[in-house]
Amino acid sequence: MAKWEENVRKVVPYTPGEQPDFPDMVKLNTNENPYPPCPAVQEKLRGLRYEDLRLYPAPGADSLVDALADYYGMQKEQVFVGVGSDDVLAMAFLTFFNGDKPILFPDITYSFYDVWAELFRIPYERQPLSGAFTIVKEDYYKPNGGVVFPNPNAPTGVELPLADIEDIIRHNRDVVVIVDEAYIDFGGVSARGLVEKYDNLLVVQTFSKSRSMAGLRIGYCFGCPKLIRYLNDAKYSFNSYTMNRPSLELGAAALWDEAYFRETVGRIMATRERTKERLAGLGFQFADSKSNFIFATHPQLPARELFEALKEKHIYVRYFSKPRIDNYLRITIGTDEQMDILIGFLEEYKKAMAGERA
Ligand code: PMP
């Protein structure tokens, strides 16, 4: 090792899902939305000017913050935006998790949390999910340096009832509790309303899933004005211009078409329910998902082999080689047609495997 390497901030990075590019692929591996962004966004896109590239954006991202505050009925002082919710979450870890006690999060959860904790040298402790993949709220009642979990959880898709979330917040008034609601729009109940009641709650959401804008990178969060001020202080000490001008304009436009939003989210939820029935019919087992993915296992079909077989056919799902979940696949909900292709493959695969065993 070179001498200078001793000073390097070494981290094992987060591994994002693959972004393959084949014309015939069925891409169900990174929880993207199969439908395009709403027509207002497409129209705004055509109206973008060179000026939007030449000029710096407003450092406070005011137009998008105002649009979000209006849409959700919050004050703008309660809203913070970032480059995807990953940026918002990273900034929140950096800002609020600065004590000696470990922060707490589930053992099976978004695999970026331990990466940020390592990067920022935050001590952490994982709390095991129950056998049914539910968060055990009592595990979060002990002394800690902060709490973070997704709701619905990822990659399980399991929702924690709002009353349990409030219990966790109530037992943690001395630290910041972050609820990561990346998948909340697919049928979950948001903790957003609790922001008025608890000054230690941060609720994080994103345009990447329900609003079909993963490529643009827009995330946001709600918290009491003091929390948001602290977040902005950290942000302005890091990078004044996190949000580019096209993101600010297109992001605001994404909130204009409520009917389109409801329709596309509704379609994904309907496809999810149909997919659950068909997967169950094939013998797959999964906890009930309230997100735009299903986390499934099969008693006879090893997940890694199935993952590889699907990939050969350009059907992409996500596989995690991690304790407790290394026999599961996370399957994003696409269009009905995409799910038909997946199910068709699984039917054939299962038959072929049964033939091999016979
Ligand atoms: N939280 C969870 C639980 C996620 O699964 C993701 C998607 N990888 C994110 C946050 C980040 O999403 P984005 O940065 O696209 O908003």
**Model confidence over 301-331: pLDDT tens digits?**
999 999 999 999 999 999 999 999 999 999 9
Confidence of residue 358 (pLDDT cuts 50, 70, 90): confident
Pairwise CA distance, residues 279 & 331, whole Å:
11
Ligand 1 surroundings by CB, under 6 angstroms: 84-86, 110, 150, 154, 180, 182, 206, 208, 214, 219
How far is 24 from 307, CA to CA, in rounded Å?
A: 17
Q: In angstroms, what is the span from residue 320 Cα to ligand 1's centroid?
A: 16
Stretch (H or E) spanning 307? helix 303-312
User: What's the rounded Cα separation, in Å, for the pair 4 and 180?
Assistant: 37
- The set of residues, in sequence order, having a beta carbon less than 8 Å from that of 125 and lying 6+ positions away, is 102, 103, 104, 144
Ligand 1 centroid to Cα of residue 150, in Å, is 9
d(CA 73, CA 152): 23
Distance CA 293, CA 186 (A): 10
Q: Which residue has the tokens 């609601």?
A: 181
Percentage of the chain lying above the pLDDT 70 cut: 100
Structure confidence by residue, pLDDT tens digits, 129-162: 999 999 999 999 999 999 999 999 999 999 999 9
Q: DSSP label at 194? A: G
Residue 357 has pLDDT above 80, yes or no: no
Helix (H, G, I), strand (E, B) or coil at 140: helix
How far does residue 182's CA lie from ligand 1's centre (Å)?
6
190 confidence band (pLDDT: 50, 70, 90): very high
Task: Measure the CA–CA gap between 282 and 279, rounded to whole angstroms.
Answer: 5
Ligand 1 atom at minimal distance to the Cα of residue 219? 16
Measured between alpha carbons, how far is 38 from 259 in angstroms, rounded to an integer? 10
Averaged pLDDT for residues 167-178: 98
Average pLDDT, rounded, for the chain? 97
Cα dihedral 144→148→152→158 (10° resolution): -40
Ligand 1 centroid–CA 353 distance in Å is: 35
Beta bridge partners of 103: 124, 146
Q: Cite the DSSP H helix spans in 55-190.
A: 62-72, 84-96, 113-119, 162-170
Ligand 1 atom with least separation from CA of 31: 7
| The two three-digit tokens of residue 239, written as one number | 């990078």
Atom of ligand 1 nearest to the CA of 155: 5
Mutate-to-test residue for ligand 1 from 29, 184, 208, highest number of ligand atoms within 8 A of CB: 208
pLDDT value of residue 356: 81
| Ligand 1: nearest atom to the Cα of 109 | 3
Residue nearest to atom 6 of ligand 1 (CA): 182
| All domains of the chain in start order, with CATH | 3-36+258-357 (3.90.1150.10), 39-254 (3.40.640.10)
**Given the DSSP bridges, would you call strands 293-297 and 79-82 parallel, antiparallel or unpaired?**
unpaired
What confidence tens digit (pLDDT) does each residue in 5-58 have?
999 999 999 999 999 999 999 999 999 999 999 999 999 999 999 999 999 999
pLDDT digits (tens, 9 = 90+) for 205-257: 999 999 999 999 999 999 999 999 999 999 999 999 999 999 999 999 999 99
Output the DSSP codes for 1-58.
Answer: --GGGGGS-------PPP----TT-EE-SS---SSPPPHHHHHHHHT--THHHHSPPP
Name the nearest CA neighbour of 315 among 349, 357, 276, 264. Answer: 349
Inter-helix orientation angle 225-236/84-96, to 10°? 100
pTM over 0.85: yes
DSSP states of 87-104: HHHHHHHHHH--SSSPEE
